[in-house]
Amino acid sequence: MIRTFRTNNIRKVTELSDSLWRFSPCDGEFAGRIYPVTVPCCWESLPDFSAYRGVGVFQKEFQAEGNIRLVFKGVSHTARICVDGREAGTHYNAYTPFAVELKNLEQGIHRLEVYADNRFSEESALHVPNDYMSYGGISRGVVLEELGDAYIEYLHAVPVKEEDGWYVLMSVKLHSLAERDLTCRLDVRLEEKGTVSEKLTLKAGEEKVIEKRLAAGDVEVWDMETARLYAVSAELFTEDSQQAPVDDLIERLGFRQIRTEGKDILLNGRKIRIKGFCRHEDHPMFGCALPFAAIEQDLQIAGDLGANAIRTSHYPNDELFLDLCDEQGILVWEENHARGLSLEQMENPNFERQAEECIREMITAHINHPSIIIWGILNECASDTEYGYECYKKQYELIRRMDTSRPRSSSSCKFKTDICFGLPEIVSYNLYPEWYHDTPAAEYVKDIYNWVQEESEGSGKPFLVTEIGAGAIYGYRTPALCKWSEEYQAQALEHQIKAVLEQEGCSGIFIWQFCDVRISAEWFANRPRTLNNKGIVDEYRRRKLSYDVVKRLYHSYSDYR
Ligand code: ADA
């Protein structure tokens, strides 16, 4: 399953998940042995490969002819794609989609080989040994698209509210696969609200972006209570096909406005109170390749706890997750891929290119999701250094060039030394009072908040606590209230949640974290079980004592301030 709705009526789209693939490790004692697997698949889910860090190849035959595109929603973490033995494309980063185009294929059976590499090296500036797991495999779906002379690469539809009603700013990217110029017509329709059209010529092999604006008038808004979605569909005609389009693409949008005003974050003009969780895409049975049902189960648990938001720590998430959040009115902070990179790690010559490419791919793929209300970058990176400041500045500016409709932020752990708060719209901190240090939560949150207001360029901006929490080993119970016990975590969260949600000027909280997750083996030292154990539920989604504390408190605060 790729999306929760049909994205094409004209283009023939087939997810390559209907039968087994063949997996083979390229290194190690099992090199060359063939294992039948379903895709999506992280090889850590296979008995022999739960700790395999290397290269593996996934093979599958497919039937096609003419022009096609193979779309990969996620390959972890470095991909090399071969078709019929020839390299067709490469990609870095497990968390963003990419595609390879193939033209004039002979009719018949073709062999697809996907090489995935999850090793750490200087080549990889973002996937590094860390407090989460860089899995190996084809972690999200693979789609075969059969194309004609031209196709629609993306359809962006951004709602804007003006004096006289709602409008949709549309941006449609077209690709020519023809050897000749094409006379085309593009129609973009927003349900019964209307259609805009553009006649154009696509030169041989040309890529072109068409910008259109459509008046939508009165609409049902998207918000946490009424997650009303509208279908927007693009159809491309060429002179040879005036009657029937050669290609189409269907997307969804929600009419909602998210903006900041003083210290408030406003959703459709109302001050929101974020009550969220930081959530890794991680599961003991599936690695980071969570199936649809497992994703929805996580959202059900978050909803039961009274959460209204999820932070995609620390990378862009699966579109299935975002589709579900769109449909259920769940707010999302989505961020590019980075966690805790030091100045030295940010100086890796691949860092800026890889981090900025992740932003471009994230926004290109996810700009339409109304659930995404904040774009985040560079979690706990070197925002206390001049070089770090330049990187943050460039990445915030890149986001603004691609999308003016959402506020930006970054989760800092640089406390009173952060020098980047003048750049984003929202100031965000990861704080661990009563865990990494024993300062009482209320005292610490107030101290940091007051420093921001009095000493930093973040003064007067919305203030979020994007991580706060404590560890607990599932099943470790003791009245001694010592750290790692469930009792201690419950007590700490009681203090922490109240401290944050009672802090004046604070717009909300993301608890660290939703569930226990696997981490890199190198991080074993202060991580019992080589897991990050700060989940409210354990890795199997079994409740800890803190579950009822969070549930009671989250339900006692409204979604609006
Ligand atoms: C940081 C980091 C998280 C996690 C957390 C922790 O805030 O952003 O990914 O590592 O610390 O558990 O200490």
- Residue spans in the chain of domains classed CATH 2.60.40.10: 150-253
What is the predicted pLDDT for the residue at 146? Answer: 98
Q: What is the mean pLDDT of residues 293-304?
A: 98
C-beta of 430 in contact with ligand 1 (< 6 A):
yes
Q: What is the mean pLDDT of residues 206-223?
A: 96
What is the predicted pLDDT for the residue at 160? Answer: 97
- Helix, coil or strand: residue 370: coil
DSSP per-residue codes, 265-311: EEETTEEB-EEEEE--S-BTTTBT---HHHHHHHHHHHHHTT--EEE
pLDDT (tens digit per residue) in 398-457: 999 999 999 999 999 999 999 999 999 999 999 999 999 999 999 999 999 999 999 999
CA distances from 158 to 12, 253, 366 (A): 26, 7, 11
372-376 and 331-335: which strand pairing? parallel
Q: What is the mean pLDDT of residues 468-496?
A: 98
DSSP per-residue codes, 199-231: EEEE-TT-EEEEEEEEEEES-PPB-SS-B--EE
| Average pLDDT value for the chain | 97
d(CA 478, CA 487): 7
Phi and psi angles of residue 171, each rounded to the nearest 5 degrees, phi first: -135, 120
pLDDT (tens digit per residue) in 492-530: 999 999 999 999 999 999 999 999 999 999 999 999 999
Residues 118, 77 contacting (CB under 8 angstroms): yes
Pocket test for ligand 1, best of 282, 380, 418 (most atoms within 8 A of CB): 380
- Residue spans in the chain of domains classed CATH 3.20.20.80: 272-556
pLDDT (tens digit per residue) in 361-413: 999 999 999 999 999 999 999 999 999 999 999 999 999 999 999 999 999 99
Pocket test for ligand 1, best of 131, 339, 448, 509 (most atoms within 8 A of CB): 131
Confidence of residue 242 (pLDDT cuts 50, 70, 90): low
C-beta of 315 in contact with ligand 1 (< 6 A):
no
The architecture that CATH gives domain 272-556 is Alpha-Beta Barrel (3.20)
C-beta of 379 in contact with ligand 1 (< 6 A):
yes
What is the predicted pLDDT for the residue at 62? Answer: 98
Nearest CA to ligand 1 atom 7: 430
Instruction: Pull the structure tokens for residue 364.
Output: 């290109």
**Count of CA atoms in the C-beta half-sphere (13 A) of 412:** 29
Confidence of residue 557 (pLDDT cuts 50, 70, 90): very high
Residue 29 neighbours by CB under 8 Å, 6+ apart: none
What separation in Å is there between the alpha carbon of 528 and the centre of ligand 1? Answer: 15
What separation in Å is there between the alpha carbon of 152 and the centre of ligand 1? Answer: 40
Nearest CA to ligand 1 atom 4: 131
Q: What is the mean pLDDT of residues 49-58?
A: 97
List the CATH code of the domain at 150-253.
2.60.40.10
C-beta of 45 in contact with ligand 1 (< 6 A):
no
What separation in Å is there between the alpha carbon of 133 and the centre of ligand 1? Answer: 13
Indicate the burial class of 372 (C-beta count within 10 angstroms; 0-12, 13-18, 19 or more).
Answer: buried
d(CA 184, CA 206): 13
pLDDT (tens digit per residue) in 83-112: 999 999 999 999 999 999 999 999 999 999
C-beta of 456 in contact with ligand 1 (< 6 A):
no
C-beta of 532 in contact with ligand 1 (< 6 A):
yes
- Residue spans in the chain of domains classed CATH 2.60.120.260: 17-140
List the CATH code of the domain at 17-140.
2.60.120.260
Query: Which DSSP symbol is given to 97?
Result: -
pLDDT (tens digit per residue) in 130-188: 999 999 999 999 999 999 999 999 999 999 999 999 999 999 999 999 999 999 999 99
Burial 49-87 (b: 16+ CB within 10 A, else e): beebbbbbbbebebebeebbbbbbbbbbbbbbbbbeeee
Confidence of residue 243 (pLDDT cuts 50, 70, 90): confident
Residues 462, 484 contacting (CB under 8 angstroms): no
C-beta of 335 in contact with ligand 1 (< 6 A):
no
pLDDT (tens digit per residue) in 117-143: 999 999 999 999 999 999 999 999 999
Phi and psi angles of residue 142, each rounded to the nearest 5 degrees, phi first: -120, 135
Residue 275 confidence (pLDDT) above 70: yes
Q: What is the mean pLDDT of residues 347-355?
A: 98
Instruction: Indicate the helix (H) or strand (E) that contains 145.
Output: strand 142-147
Instruction: Pull the structure tokens for residue 513.
Output: 């974290």
Polymer length of the chain: 561
Confidence of residue 18 (pLDDT cuts 50, 70, 90): confident
C-beta of 512 in contact with ligand 1 (< 6 A):
yes
Residues 313, 335 contacting (CB under 8 angstroms): yes
Give pTM, 2 decimals. Answer: 0.98
Residues 254, 326 contacting (CB under 8 angstroms): yes
12-15 and 142-147: which strand pairing? antiparallel
Residue type, 502: E
- Greatest extent of the chain over all pairs of C-alpha atoms, in Å: 78
What separation in Å is there between the alpha carbon of 131 and the centre of ligand 1? Answer: 7
